[in-house]
Amino acid sequence: MTLDVSSALPYGPLEALEVYFEHDGPRFFALRSSRFLVYLLAICVDEDEESEEVRFLYLAMSRDRFVQVRSGQVSLLEAFEAASHGDIWIVTEDYSAQPTVRAKAVGFADIAPDDLPLPLARLNLQTPTVQAFDPSELEVLARETFRSIAAIELDADGENLSEFPLRALGKVGTTLQEAIDALAQEERGEPTERGAIKRETTEEVQMSVLGLRAASFVLLVGTDKRGRFLERGDFVAETLGRLVELVQAGEDDGKLVTAMRGYGPRARGKFTTLIRAVAEAGSGLGVHVAPVERPVRSALLDVHQVRRALSIIEGVRPDIEELHLDRVILTALNTTRATFEVWDSVSGARYSGRVPREAREMVEGLRVGHSSYVQVDLEIEIDFAAIGDEDSIRKYFLKRISPLD
Amino acid sequence: MGEEDELPEGCPPDGHWPARGAFYRLTRPSLEIGEVPEDKDWVLPLHTKKSAAYLKHDECDAYSYSLFDDIEPLRIARLASAWARRKSISRVILPEGSGYLLKTESELADGHHDWWPVPAQCIPGAVVVEERAA
């Protein structure tokens, strides 16, 4: 091949992948489309000294088929025999005047037998069973499937093995989806601290595993389209973009906490859970996101940066707030365990927490029950990145209490 | 650059050594066993219209020929490529002082070398050892 054949074939721009045989230039080689998930084998079949033409056979195939041919599971001839019409091309490079390329789709039966590879011809190259991760593939996938595609890059042991412990993968998968759910709530502008997230929000960002890539270990995920043809607007892409930004902030100690403060407790907590799951797996974390028709955005933390990010998050002191409640009912008091609960009958909110030593005298002799109205001042500790229910995010401490009536 | 006997800067690449020894190369289809390839069988890519390096005076590849240190890779290539089957195979002897060699193997063809002849018009001794196979 000496000329660019991209314009003569219907696979978009083609890039050279590898050369199997060269003799004063490549004579047998592989190409890959940078627009579609198509691989091509090209084999030089003839050269006409007088007309100054060189002819090649091109065979287009899927990535899976390419792996079979490259590894020798399928001979070259078998690959041509099994090809569908439209997958085989006779490509003629014409150098008689201005160099030009012509391509003509042919069926297997149309090829002169002498031009075909011999039955014994097969490649026998070590071929990874798991395709190597190439971020540019995400753009192609996003364009072809009309949805944002993300790749989550994990590396359990730093040895670039295409393996990852299943238990750890389950944890990472769950925490990743929960982090995305929480970020989707933020993207929608309606973050909540607890309770179920609205179904229409979680449905929109429900991710499915689309494939695995090597090495280390890369999970390709895309939104579960649930029958929809297109994603709605940029919602998914922007949500995933938030994840990239948070991971990116992890590269810089100072930026991480600032970036996380831009989110509510749920998103902070869920992101922390994801980082913790990755750290516990002894892994680094890469996030690559390809929105449809937009370039890939990437952020990458190695295993040390993941651990450091977790330690920074866990070291952030809780925020302190105060809350004054004018008229609430003391519904529970346990002096032995130093706990209390009050209920605001107007708003329906319940507040329960601890009675610190300095407030214990104040609660002595107080009645508990529906007629026991009290006025209280509470101190609220809001954990920077707690996970789970309300109790773990906000801790209430009784500062002052006095009976009414 | 422009003079054929002057190689471009950095050419041959690092790792090359002085040319010498026996090699194999695909040659014209019509040659028969025992025939000697002629001068017209030794045209550098620089002057070959069908080459990617045609008239590319600054490209190192424009000044080199493909040679193999064993005949077997050429026989294997013939299984896959009808173009290679239609060529004869010649044994080529590079005398001392005939230029530079660099091993430039590809996936399927072990033993591929680039030979930069010096002078560029250097024609090595060669003889056809296998005729076209198709």
Answer whether A25 touches B (CB < 8 Å): yes
Residue B26 inside a domain? The answer is yes
The residue of chain A nearest to residue B25, with distances taken between CA atoms, is A23
Residue A121 inside a domain? The answer is no
CB contact under 8 A, B80 and A118: yes
Cα B73 to Cα B68: distance, rounded to the nearest angstrom: 8
Answer whether A93 touches B (CB < 8 Å): yes
Contact A191, A185 (CB under 8 A): yes
Q: Mark which of A314, A349, A364 sits at the end of a domain.
A: A314
Distance from CA of B96 to the nearest CA of A (A): 22
3-state secondary structure B16-41: CEECCEEEEEEECCCCCCCCCCCHHH
Residue A172 inside a domain? The answer is yes
Residue A45 inside a domain? The answer is yes
Question: One digit per residue, pLDDT tens: chain A, 405 residues?
Answer: 467 899 999 999 999 989 999 999 899 999 999 888 899 999 999 987 777 899 999 999 998 899 889 988 899 999 999 998 899 999 999 988 888 999 999 999 999 999 999 999 999 887 766 777 888 888 888 888 888 999 999 875 555 556 778 888 899 999 999 999 999 999 999 998 878 899 888 988 999 888 888 767 889 998 886 655 566 678 999 999 999 999 999 988 889 999 999 998 899 999 999 999 999 888 899 999 999 888 999 999 998 999 999 999 989 988 899 999 999 999 999 989 999 999 998 999 999 999 999 999 999 889 999 889 999 999 999 888 876 555 567 899 999 999 996
Q: Mark which of A263, A284, A314 sits at the end of a domain.
A: A314
Q: What is the CATH number of the domain that holds B91?
A: 3.20.170
CB contact under 8 A, B80 and A20: yes
Q: Mark which of A50, A80, A115 sits at the end of a domain.
A: A115
Range of the domain at B106: 17-130
List of chain B residues whose C-beta atoms are within 8 Å of the C-beta of residue A2: 50-52, 54
CB contact under 8 A, A21 and B134: no
Residue A250 inside a domain? The answer is yes
CB contact under 8 A, B80 and A24: no
Mutation for testing the B interface, residue in A23, A57, A94 having most B CBs under 10 Å? A23
Q: How many domains does chain A have?
A: 3
Indicate if A211 and A360 belong to the same structural domain. Answer: no
Cα A276 to Cα A308: distance, rounded to the nearest angstrom: 11
A131 contacts: CB under 8 Å, gap ≥ 6: A63, A67, A211, A213, A214
List of chain A residues whose C-beta atoms are within 8 Å of the C-beta of residue B63: none
Residue B27 CB-density burial (10 A; 0-12 exposed, 13-18 middle, 19+ buried) = buried
Indicate if A203 and A291 belong to the same structural domain. Answer: yes
Chain B residues whose C-beta is within 8 A of a chain A C-beta are 25-26, 45, 48-54, 65-66, 73, 77-86, 106-109, 112, 134
Out of A18, A24, A116, the one facing B107 most closely (by C-beta) is A18
Classify strands B125-130 and A39-48 as parallel, antiparallel or unpaired: unpaired
Residue A125 inside a domain? The answer is no
Out of A47, A52, A95, the one facing B83 most closely (by C-beta) is A47
Distance from CA of A37 to the nearest CA of B (A): 23
Answer whether A20 touches B (CB < 8 Å): yes
Strands (E), A95-233: 100-106, 149-155, 207-213, 217-223
List of chain B residues whose C-beta atoms are within 8 Å of the C-beta of residue A47: 50, 83, 86
Answer whether A111 touches B (CB < 8 Å): no
Mapped onto helix, strand or coil, the DSSP state of residue B132 is: coil
Cα A243 to Cα A133: distance, rounded to the nearest angstrom: 20
Residue B10 inside a domain? The answer is no
Residue type, A331: T
Q: What is the mean pLDDT of residues B80-92?
A: 96
Indicate if A299 and A346 belong to the same structural domain. Answer: no
CA angle A377, A379, A385 (to 5 degrees): 150
CB contact under 8 A, A21 and B84: yes
Answer whether A125 touches B (CB < 8 Å): yes
CB contact under 8 A, A123 and B108: yes
Range of the domain at A101: 6-115
Indicate if A266 and A143 belong to the same structural domain. Answer: yes
Q: Kind and range of the H or E element at A275?
A: helix A265-280
Q: Is the pLDDT of residue B1 over 50?
A: no
The residue of chain A nearest to residue B114, with distances taken between CA atoms, is A24
Strands (E), A254-338: 284-290, 297-301, 319-334
CB contact under 8 A, A19 and B107: yes
Mapped onto helix, strand or coil, the DSSP state of residue B48 is: coil
Out of A23, A28, A114, the one facing B66 most closely (by C-beta) is A23
What does the pLDDT read at residue A83? 95
- pLDDT greater at residue B69 or residue A144: B69
Mapped onto helix, strand or coil, the DSSP state of residue B7 is: coil
Mapped onto helix, strand or coil, the DSSP state of residue A34 is: coil
Task: Give this prediction's pTM.
Answer: 0.62
Distance from CA of A3 to the nearest CA of B (A): 7
Indicate if A25 and A106 belong to the same structural domain. Answer: yes
Task: Give ipTM to 2 decimals.
Answer: 0.94
Out of B45, B66, B79, the one facing A118 most closely (by C-beta) is B79
Residue A267 inside a domain? The answer is yes
Residue A123 inside a domain? The answer is no
Residue B108 inside a domain? The answer is yes
Indicate if A338 and A370 belong to the same structural domain. Answer: yes
Residue B1 inside a domain? The answer is no
Residue type, A184: A
The residue of chain B nearest to residue A100, with distances taken between CA atoms, is B50
The structure tokens 């007309």 sit at A51
Distance from CA of A88 to the nearest CA of B (A): 15
CB contact under 8 A, A20 and B108: yes
Mapped onto helix, strand or coil, the DSSP state of residue A71 is: helix
The band of B2, judged by pLDDT with boundaries at 50, 70 and 90, is very low
What does the pLDDT read at residue A400? 95
List of chain A residues whose C-beta atoms are within 8 Å of the C-beta of residue B65: 24
Residue A284 inside a domain? The answer is yes
Answer whether A47 touches B (CB < 8 Å): yes
Distance from CA of B86 to the nearest CA of A (A): 8
Q: What is the CATH number of the domain that holds A396?
A: 2.40.50
Indicate if A192 and A162 belong to the same structural domain. Answer: yes
Indicate if A287 and A167 belong to the same structural domain. Answer: yes
Q: How many domains does chain B have?
A: 1
